[in-house]
Chain A
Amino acid sequence: MALMWSELSVLFRRRRTIVMLAALALIPVLVAVAVRISSAGSSGRGPAFINQIAGNGLFVSLVALTICIPLFLPLTVGVVAGDTIAGEASLGTLRYLLVSPAGRIRMLVVKYIAAIVFTAAATVVIVVAGIVVGAILFPVGPVTLLSGGTISIGESVVRALLIASYVTVSLLGLSAIGVFISTLTDVPVGAMAATVVISIVAQVADSLPQLDWLHPWLFSHYWLNFADLLRQPIEWSSFGSNALLQLGYVVVFGALAYGRFSSKDVLS
């Protein structure tokens, strides 16, 4: 437990982590300011929900999430997850960590949980920044769901948090892949880049109709289905299939990372 806390405090006191979270928080601000300045409704263009921002500031966080999911969130998750083991190895601190009686499995688990906590923090930062900015610049009122019904502000905040948890779960698989790649190398930048590239390759493959047999197995397949939580009644099936899929990735790549990390000669 102490290991967990020290890991988290190291992670969140790093300037890099803070800068990444700030950059993510900037995206809803940019979206809101851009819509506020242009204000002329350009219907039918841009990401989903963007037409609704001017009428209801709560949609800022949804637009920001839609923008962040394909690139910015995988990028930051790739940086954190890719750095977990390789970063310690390149700094030469990995062998000192392993001298402590914590054991390699615990070490790996703590590193992975820290990466997940960062993912959750990143999504919540986007959602909260979106709500705050939206409330400052635009009127706030009951939210229109995709099905045409409306829900109160309180319930829409609950749905926004549900969406944040959906997005966090969506990125579990990518984090596991990042931690595994991180055990393969002593060069953290390589692990980060490889993780981000994998997430992009998965999304490209997901958009090719020729590969449709592969689509349900790609960890990025359900990323944009967070909108199923905005239907009335809520469509839970994508939440379930997404969680199951991510669990599969976590199990396989967690076991692979264990195999690699526990048998690795730590020389640096």
Chain B
Amino acid sequence: MTQWKRWIPAGVASVVVAGVAIAVPLSANATAALPSKTAEQVIALVTNSSVTAFSGTVQQSSNLGLPSLPAGASSSLGSSSTATPGATASTGGSGSTSSADISSALELLTGSHTARVYVDGPTNVRVQVLDQLAERDVIRGGTDLWAYDSSKQTAVHSTLPAKSDSTATPTPTDTATPDQLAQKFLDAVDPSTGVAVGGDVTVDGRSAYDLVLTPATTDSLVGNVSIAVDSATGLPLQVEVTAKGASDPAFSSELTGLSLDTPSADLFSFTPPAGTAVTEKTLSAPDPSATADSKAKAAAAAKPVVTGTGWSSIVELPAASGSDAAALTSNPLVAQLTTPVTGGRLLSTTLVNVLLTTDGRVFAGSVSAEQLEAAAAATPAAQ
């Protein structure tokens, strides 16, 4: 008779647990009422932001319609030059090879990453990419720049020129904080971009303005870019990029657990632990002793060529050394991810198309594959 009552706790417990699991994320998304601001005022809020020291956790996820790579697969792509994830790309990238660029780009395009970020002014920055059972760190303390990889037990040290106080904060190339991304997008705002303020949003319990950038051109694959700007500090908390015609963001980067306390100073100093292979890397900063001619040559050899403007621009990376390009296109992983098209192989995602031409050049852009092929056909191989 009372047997069935014995099951009441089981039913109640299941309902309560399910209720808590569903209700807690929902209540975090409850919108807050903020004084309304125009788009210009929100952009001014970002540029005038006085936050110099903060720490938090960046959650980055990409859903570009690519199969997610097994961890470490993409890092095995770039032959020997990938040992320096942060240093090459963050310092102007003039010395990086296209092979390393592509392998790090592939990692950016797949899966999700979690990184802890500690910032104290422009010269003290630490980014920790949290991998399972491993960690990749980039530490900048003053003029010292360290990149440390715990699974490979390698560290790369370089010294930044003392005057470069305002250089971009270094990050491992596969993770960027929302404020760095937002800065990139805001820098690119031009007449080809529609800027509007969406409804108020809440990111990790902080109320924020939602700045929506919409490309005016119909050529771009990007539907819109949504930047959540913290109402109290002006710090961009979240960046979401949605492909044209899609409802869910194809790429998002979110800053959670934001703390405005100054991080402990010992986080910004780094001593390589015993047993670590340390590489000293001299940065390819302009060398005063080099002749103008050789400098110009070096720049021409490595500098990406940009054609088109705004959202539909196409970046062309010149041909790397022949063996590099051959190794890349014959890589089984690349072969699996790309489809053959006229003139090369195409890596197609919801946001970006990348064309690897048979002569080793790389064309990338947020445009349709046909436009990339046309661009490749229009420009002769710069050999």
Chain A positions within 8 Å of B, measured between CB atoms, are 43-44, 48-49, 51-52, 55, 66, 141, 144, 146-150, 209, 217, 224-225, 227-228, 231-233, 235, 237, 248, 251-252, 254-256, 258-259, 262-263
Count how many pairs of residues, one from A and one from B, have CB atoms less than 8 Å apart in the complex. Answer: 94
Whether, in the assembled complex, B137 has its beta carbon less than 8 Å from a beta carbon of chain A, the answer is yes
Within 8 A of A (CB), among B128-168: 128, 130, 132-135, 137, 139, 146, 148, 150-153, 155
Contact A48–B13 (Cβ < 8 Å): no
Contact A148–B155 (Cβ < 8 Å): yes
Within 8 A of A (CB), among B64-118: 67-68, 111, 116
Contact A231–B130 (Cβ < 8 Å): yes
Whether, in the assembled complex, B16 has its beta carbon less than 8 Å from a beta carbon of chain A, the answer is yes
Contact B130–A259 (Cβ < 8 Å): no
For A49, A55, A66, A259, the residue with the greatest tally of chain B CB atoms inside 10 Å of its CB is: A259
**7 other A-B residue contacts (CB within 8 Å) besides A44-B152, A148-B146, A233-B267:** A146-B150, A148-B148, A148-B272, A225-B132, A227-B132, A227-B133, A255-B9
B273 to chain A: which residues have CB within 8 Å? 144, 148-150
- Tell me, rounded to whole Å, the shortest Cβ–Cβ distance linking B21 to chain A: 7
Asked, given contacts A48-B134, A228-B130, whether A255 binds B13 with beta carbons under 8 Å apart, the answer is yes
- Tell me, rounded to whole Å, the shortest Cβ–Cβ distance linking A144 to chain B: 4
Give the CA-CA distance A43 to B150 in the complex, in Å.
12
Give the CA-CA distance A256 to B6 in the complex, in Å.
9
B257 to chain A: which residues have CB within 8 Å? 237
Which of the four size classes fits the interface of chain B? Answer: 35 or more
Contact A255–B14 (Cβ < 8 Å): yes
Contact A147–B132 (Cβ < 8 Å): no
Contact A248–B152 (Cβ < 8 Å): no
Contact A248–B132 (Cβ < 8 Å): no
Whether, in the assembled complex, B270 has its beta carbon less than 8 Å from a beta carbon of chain A, the answer is yes
A148 to chain B: which residues have CB within 8 Å? 135, 137, 139, 146, 148, 150, 155, 270, 272-273, 276
Give the CA-CA distance A49 to B17 in the complex, in Å.
37
